[in-house]
Amino acid sequence: MSIFTVGSWNINSIKVRTEQVKDLLRENFLDILALQELKSINENFPYYLRQTGYEVIVNGQKQYNGVATLANSSIKELTNTLIDDNQARFLVTTHDDIIIVNVYVPNGQSLDSDKYQYKLQWLSKLHDFLQELQKNHSKIIVLGDFNIIKEDLDAYPEYSYEMFRSPKERNCINKIIELGFVDTYRQIHKDKIEYSWWDYRSFSYPKNKGLRIDLILASQELSKHLIDAKIHTKYRNHSQPSDHTLITASFNLP
DNA sequence: ATGGCAAAGTAGCTTTGA
């Protein structure tokens, strides 16, 4: 048996928070780290992070988006394309026989926005991709910034908006779950209220007005071995924090 | 009071985030 731990963190600029990522990698408890919102082109990624002993695959982009997956042993890229456009929001890698699907789901902005339609289309494509992937693989982890409030307890009580929890968005995430994926945090913590994102404005973090919109989904095969899931608020306490914090899930693999 | 902040690109502002 061996413990296998994966983490996901929307870092809101890899340039600004390189040192925080380095400190995290040096703690050496993660086997996989999926990053979102690099806001960096591939050439400017701080590849010296490899000095920590992690390999990295980057799907970057100028100014916006950008994802990267780091691993403490051999990692190979399967694809970085979900929709044929120029938004770097997707990176699929293999780590031995485990498939890691790193996602930065589009924001959607408002229900009448073109970006909302793009978000729904993107999630539909993700569903179809995972359905296809399942034909040949049983050990799959889908993790990242989903920009979806899965259940009402995943939003602070005063949150009164439909955005991120509209029926169409919930339908998209539920259809993905129905493929046979488990929300690892909710599997471990049935009724617990914790968030992974807090607005920079309005003292949202000290007031704990947040949302749980970052998720680690595990396929049935892997979820049988799930032993822990955590939200690490220490990174939101940093003096120059991302607005999201690190989430992790641990498995005791045979 | 969804707003107040933060980051990037760029050079006084706009766009984006959620």
**Along chain A (254 residues), what's the average pLDDT of each consecutive run of 10 residues?**
96 98 97 98 97 98 97 97 95 97 96 95 98 98 98 96 96 98 98 97 96 98 98 96 98 96
pLDDT at A1: 83
Task: Determine the distance between A254 (CA) and B7 (C1') in angstroms.
Answer: 43
Q: Strand B closer than 7 Å to the CB of A64?
A: yes
Nucleotide with the nearest C1' to A243 CA: B6
Task: Determine the distance between A175 (CA) and B11 (C1') in angstroms.
Answer: 47
Nucleotide with the nearest C1' to A41 CA: B8
Q: Strand B closer than 7 Å to the CB of A243?
A: yes
Q: Strand B closer than 7 Å to the CB of A109?
A: yes
d(CA A157, CA A133): 37
Residues 137-196 (A) near nucleic chain B, CB < 7 A: 145, 147, 159-161, 163-164
pTM confidence score: 0.97
Q: Strand B closer than 7 Å to the CB of A244?
A: yes
Cα A250 to chain centroid, rounded:
15
Q: Strand B closer than 7 Å to the CB of A62?
A: yes
pLDDT at A71: 98
DSSP A12-62: S-TTTTHHHHHHHHHH---SEEEEE---S-GGGS-GGGGGGT-EEEEE--S
Q: Which nucleotides of B are covered by protein (CB under 7 A)?
A: 2-9, 16-18
pLDDT at A131: 98
Contact A184/A216 with Cβ under 8 angstroms? yes
* Amino acid at position A44, single letter: N
d(CA A160, CA A80): 35
Q: Strand B closer than 7 Å to the CB of A199?
A: yes
Q: Strand B closer than 7 Å to the CB of A214?
A: no
Order of strands across the sheet with A90-95?
Answer: A76-79, A90-95, A98-104, A140-145, A214-219, A181-183
Angle at which helices A114-133 and A167-178 pack, to 10 degrees? 10
pLDDT at A26: 98
